[in-house]
Amino acid sequence: MKYTYTDFKSDQEVRWCPGCGDHAVLAAMQRAMPRVAEALGYEKERFVVVSGIGCSSRLPYYMDTYGFHGIHGRATAISTGIKVANPSLNVWQACGDGDALAIGGNHFIHAVRRNIDINIILFNNQIYGLTKGQYSPTSKFGAITKTSPYGTVEHPFNPGSLVLGAKGTFFARGLDTELKLNEEIMVAAATHNGTSVVEMLTNCVIFNNGAHSTISDRATKADRTIVLRHGEKMIFGKDRNKGLVLDGLKLKVVTIGEKGITEDDILTHDAHEDNIGIHTMLADMKYPEYPVALGVIRDVADVTYDGGVRMQAEQVTAKAKIHCVDDLLRSGSTWEVK
Amino acid sequence: MQHKVIDVKDVVIRFAGDSGDGMQLTGSLFADMSAVYGNGLSTFPDFPAEIRAPHGTVSGVSGFTVHIGSGHISTPGDFCDMLVAMNPAALKTNAKWLKRTALVLIDEDAFDDAGMEKAGFRENPFTELKIEDRTIISAPITTLTYESLKDSGLDHKSIGRCKNMFTLGMACFIYSRPVEYIFGYLEKKFGKKHPELVAPNRKVLQDGYNYASNIQAIPDTYQIEPEHKEPGIYRNITGNQAVAWGLLAAAEKAGLKLFCGSYPITPATAILEELAIHKSLGATTLQAEDEIAGICTAIGAAYAGDLAVTTTSGPGLSLKSEALGLAVMTELPIVIVDVQRAGPSTGIPTKTEQTDLNQVLYGRNGECPLVVMAAHSPANCFDAAFNAAKIALEHLTPVVLLSEGFLGNGSEPWRIPSMADYPEIRPPCARESDRGSFKPFERDPETMARRWAVPGQKGFEHRVGGLEKNHDGVLSSAPENHALMVRERAEKVSRVADCIPALEVDGPQRGPLLVVGWGGTYGHLSSAVAQARSEGMEVSYAHFDYINPLPKNTAEVLAGYDRILVCELNSGHFAGYLRSVLPQFGYMQYNKVEGQPFLVQELVSAIEDALKR
């Protein structure tokens, strides 16, 4: 490979708290980028990392790429402008759950709807960290935080449902401790043509420690999560003997070898299925009823916004009679004074 | 019967009717036709925000004023020579604008009991409005339109829609306009998609013309000789169209693509619509999900190397405030076009004002200066937009260009320039010698502008953002660095003054009174000053196209007069700004905040009063 992860590391001191989940996501991104450059044949200067405001949004300063640290919630709009202006760039975006889903919720759903070719890495720690511990739109119902001392009385967003509801073409989920998996997901996201949303479940050691510990603890992780890969059986568990089947209109966890269940009965993951039904069910799975799905849940091909813009411009230009501003000024009704 | 044809220097015609009566089209066709004929002209559309306000009511009246003349025309005129009133409500709302000698053309079919009641008339509307001494031409326009088109094959509703063409035909006769121009227009508008509408519209237009020539009610007809203008190719252009074209021209001169990220908002939307057409000139438009996304996509596009713009009006500008700060902090070249309307809040969306000046000067957090300019006439919007883009690109700063609903929707004839006469635009691009050691906030010692490196350029990787940084682009909260950067950003904006034209004075350089204006009041103020002078008053006039920074000779100009009268369509924003920037002078004010342009007459009185004080 032409680049290694050190090529994407800037000389800036990383200022996240020790033990913050963001460190691991940054490391995965720095490892994924050389592979993306290789896969797409891109030089490093074609990578741009954009962010909004929040702890995770400091990320562009730590990448030795072009970077834009925006304002709260607006990263998606800035990324959109960059990509439309120059579609040959590989645009990445780092944003948190508050940034992307509260103040920036509108831009987020519209980017997904347009399917513009950007890669959104959504750091979900279910808390506002930079402002020191208020609940976010992904905080669990009843979460006790500084602004909800008696527990929240509002339902959280599931980022996957939002993406799929907007007919997103790519959704994946990673977990901060899973460096290899995260790297694999990011390569898939960056090589996907269209809006890729990667939800990174991250821990906030200071304000929401153990945010995802029910599924991330080493001892129980294998039983409480399932890693989905296109074309592979939906099997999980420490002993690799649990799987997912369809029971009527719902998913169900079964044990291979029990009640006559064999590996053949287990569903095979199809990330390329256009219908969002099964992907929605997979993205919605919550422990303890289900394992939490990690990996690439959805990856389908569709027309992209930036591609559409370019194609339309070419078509219109091919037929146009106006090729310069002088042509334009003299078009339509004019008259001459002699 | 033989009509007498009277030569007149100029006339003001106001077409008024229900908001569904097609008055905007009628008025603009009459204007275009007069422009092609060679008259000087100025137009003023004045319509309600509702697409179809309650039928026949006063609130639903839509008007379009055309002022045409054989000399240069700089305002749509205060009072009208002819009012076309398609219903009683239109007569009621516009009667106050009638000259003593005015003609009033009404559709008598609409003056039935129901129509009179909706407009709130009890008896004879002319007596009630005290305009019975005007020349009233009462024609059964609706009936005649149905009669004209009874064999056309059009349905009842479609025929009803043609009555504006009958009226236009009558107006063409009265003002000696050839209807052939309209024929050509009808062919263009309907020829392809609705060829069945061409012949009926032609017929009804011609029938209207013939009807007017046959009836006895029209005492005289009028002729307005073409203006003796500088030779060249001319066209009629609205301010919004001119802004769009000026931006395209700047992109061409800079060798850049144009990106426009905008959200539809009255009265600025036509700029986005116009740019959306011109993909063949490298324009990309993005109809954003909201105003904030409009400016943020533009900021992204500017970072990526486009000439980026966003267009809006007052409420939209409020939403863009935080992102404007980001553009100031990242020092990226974007143009923000604000076509002002009556506020606050939603205000009166279709009415004109100059009430956003304080917002663009001061409406951001932190020390956040940017360049503020204003266009002064519909055609001037072209040069203003070109210059705004040139300054943004060459000084790497956001520039706010203030337009007004009055300019955006208004139109005037424009001698088409040649792009060869416009200067090149040369942004301060990153130098080859900086490859590998690019410092994003190092400045050109002369302009104080930083250099522009865009993603894709090898060896210029750097980060920008809303946090304070040092020259190297590294985050810094050091007090001395912050003070330095605040000073430098302000200095960069104030040095734009080195590149803008000096303030010109219309009239003597010294005297008892200087009238000061900015933006779209130019036509009214210059006419008022000319009139005041012709009445023997001693008055000079200075009009500001550049507001921040001010032209370098501003203090020198202002020092020449005993009194300074600042006239603007707000409560005194520019006067307040001048007081804070140039406190050594005293300023008098003339202000109007009615959602309407000035009247020349009221300005002349204000000048007279100022001279007396």
Chain B residues close to A337, C-beta within 8 Å: 38, 229-232, 234, 415
Tell me whether residues A45 and B459 touch, CB distance under 8 A.
yes
Tell me whether residues B297 and A66 touch, CB distance under 8 A.
no
Tell me whether residues A81 and B300 touch, CB distance under 8 A.
yes
- Rg of chain A over Cα atoms, rounded to whole angstroms, equals 22
Whole-number Å distance between alpha carbons of A226 and A246? 16
Render B262-305 in DSSP notation, one character per residue: E---TTTHHHHHHHHH-GGGTEEEEE-SSHHHHHHHHHHHHHTT
Is B604 in contact with B535 (CB distance < 8 Å)?
yes
Q: Please, what are the domains in chain A?
A: 5-211 (3.40.50.970)
Q: Please, what are the domains in chain B?
A: 4-223 (3.40.920.10), 235-421 (3.40.50.970), 430-499 (no CATH), 505-612 (3.40.50.920)
Of A61, A82, A322, Cβ closest to residue B300: A82
Find the Cα–Cα–Cα–Cα dihedral B164, B170, B174, B178, rounded to 10°. 90
Structural tokens at position B604: 């002349």
Q: 3-state class of B102 per DSSP?
A: strand
For range A82-107, the mean pLDDT:
98
Question: Residue B150: how many CB atoms within 10 A of its CB?
Answer: 10
B12 — pLDDT class (breaks 50, 70, 90) = very high
For an interface test with B, which of A30, A99, A328 has the most B Cβ atoms less than 10 Å from its Cβ?
Answer: A328
For residue A102, is pLDDT > 70? yes
Which residues, 6+ apart, have CB-to-CB distance to A167 below 8 Å? A112, A113, A276
B480 — pLDDT class (breaks 50, 70, 90) = very high
- A260 min Cα distance to partner chain B (Å): 53
Whole-number Å distance between alpha carbons of A28 and A62? 13
Structural tokens at position A187: 């390569």
Structural tokens at position B463: 């980060």
Which residues, 6+ apart, have CB-to-CB distance to B247 below 8 Å? B258, B260, B275, B307, B309, B335, B385, B386, B389
Structural tokens at position B522: 């130019």
Tell me whether residues A69 and B463 touch, CB distance under 8 A.
yes
Whole-number Å distance between alpha carbons of A156 and A152? 10
**Per-residue pLDDT at B52:** 77
Which residues, 6+ apart, have CB-to-CB distance to A127 below 8 Å? A97, A133, A134, A135, A136, A139, A145, A204, A207, A208, A211
A84 — pLDDT class (breaks 50, 70, 90) = very high
Find the DSSP H helices in chain A.
22-40, 75-85, 97-98, 105-114, 159-165, 179-191, 213-216, 221-224, 277-284, 305-319, 325-329
Tell me whether residues B233 and A326 touch, CB distance under 8 A.
no
For residue B123, is pLDDT > 90? no
Longest dimension (CA), chain A: 97
Whole-number Å distance between alpha carbons of B247 and B274? 11
**Per-residue pLDDT at B181:** 84
In this prediction the pTM is 0.94
**Per-residue pLDDT at B2:** 60
Selection from B454, B331, B449, B397 nearest residue A82 by Cα: B454
Q: Which helix (H) or strand (E) holds A47?
A: strand A47-51
Whole-number Å distance between alpha carbons of B582 and B440? 34
Is B300 in contact with B271 (CB distance < 8 Å)?
no
| Burial environment of residue A6 by CB neighbours within 10 A (0 to 12, 13 to 18, 19 or more) | exposed
Whole-number Å distance between alpha carbons of A123 and A126? 9
Long-range contacts of A3-8 (CB under 8 A, 24+ apart): A3/A33, A3/A34, A3/A37, A3/A38, A3/A44, A4/A34, A5/A30, A5/A31, A5/A33, A5/A34, A6/A30, A7/A34, A7/A44, A7/A64, A8/A33, A8/A34, A8/A44, A8/A47, A8/A63, A8/A64, A8/A65
Q: What is the pLDDT of chain B when averaged over all its residues? A: 95
Of A45, A61, A77, Cβ closest to residue B458: A45
For an interface test with A, which of B34, B186, B237, B296 has the most A Cβ atoms less than 10 Å from its Cβ?
Answer: B296
B187 — pLDDT class (breaks 50, 70, 90) = confident
Sign of the CA dihedral with B428 first, then B429, B432, and B435 last:
positive
Render B454-491 in DSSP notation, one character per residue: -TT-TT---EEESS-B-TTS-B---HHHHHHHHHHHHH
Tell me whether residues B419 and A325 touch, CB distance under 8 A.
yes
What is the identity of the amino acid at B478?
A
Is A96 in contact with A122 (CB distance < 8 Å)?
yes
Structural tokens at position B332: 């990226």
pLDDT digits (tens, 9 = 90+) for A237-289: 999 999 999 999 999 999 999 999 999 999 999 999 999 999 999 999 999 99
**Per-residue pLDDT at B220:** 86
- The count of CB pairs under 8 A between chains A and B is 199
Mean pLDDT is lowest, of A19-33, B109-123, B180-194, B528-542, for B180-194
pLDDT digits (tens, 9 = 90+) for A311-322: 999 999 999 999
Chain A residues close to B462, C-beta within 8 Å: 66-67
Structural tokens at position A35: 């592979």
**Per-residue pLDDT at B228:** 76
For residue B375, is pLDDT > 80? yes
Is A162 in contact with A109 (CB distance < 8 Å)?
yes
Structural tokens at position B324: 């404007």
pLDDT digits (tens, 9 = 90+) for B334-371: 999 999 999 999 999 999 999 999 999 999 999 999 99
Tell me whether residues A81 and B259 touch, CB distance under 8 A.
yes
pLDDT digits (tens, 9 = 90+) for A180-195: 999 999 999 999 999 9
Selection from B365, B326, B329 nearest residue B482 by Cα: B329
- B415 min Cα distance to partner chain A (Å): 9
Whole-number Å distance between alpha carbons of B84 and B107? 8
- B607 min Cα distance to partner chain A (Å): 36
For an interface test with A, which of B28, B297, B424, B464 has the most A Cβ atoms less than 10 Å from its Cβ?
Answer: B297
Kindly give the interhelix angle for B239-254 and B269-277, rounded to the nearest 10 degrees: 50
Give the residue with greater pLDDT, B182 vs A8.
A8
**Per-residue pLDDT at B46:** 87
Q: What is the pLDDT of chain A when averaged over all its residues? A: 97
**Per-residue pLDDT at A149:** 97
- Rg of chain B over Cα atoms, rounded to whole angstroms, equals 26
pLDDT digits (tens, 9 = 90+) for B403-442: 999 999 999 999 999 999 999 999 999 999 999 999 999 9
Tell me whether residues B463 and A79 touch, CB distance under 8 A.
no
pLDDT digits (tens, 9 = 90+) for B556-578: 999 999 999 999 999 999 999 99
For an interface test with B, which of A113, A335, A336 has the most B Cβ atoms less than 10 Å from its Cβ?
Answer: A335
Mean pLDDT is lowest, of A117-126, B120-129, B269-278, B589-598, for B120-129
**3-state DSSP helix/strand/coil percent for chain A, to nearest 5?**
35, 20, 45
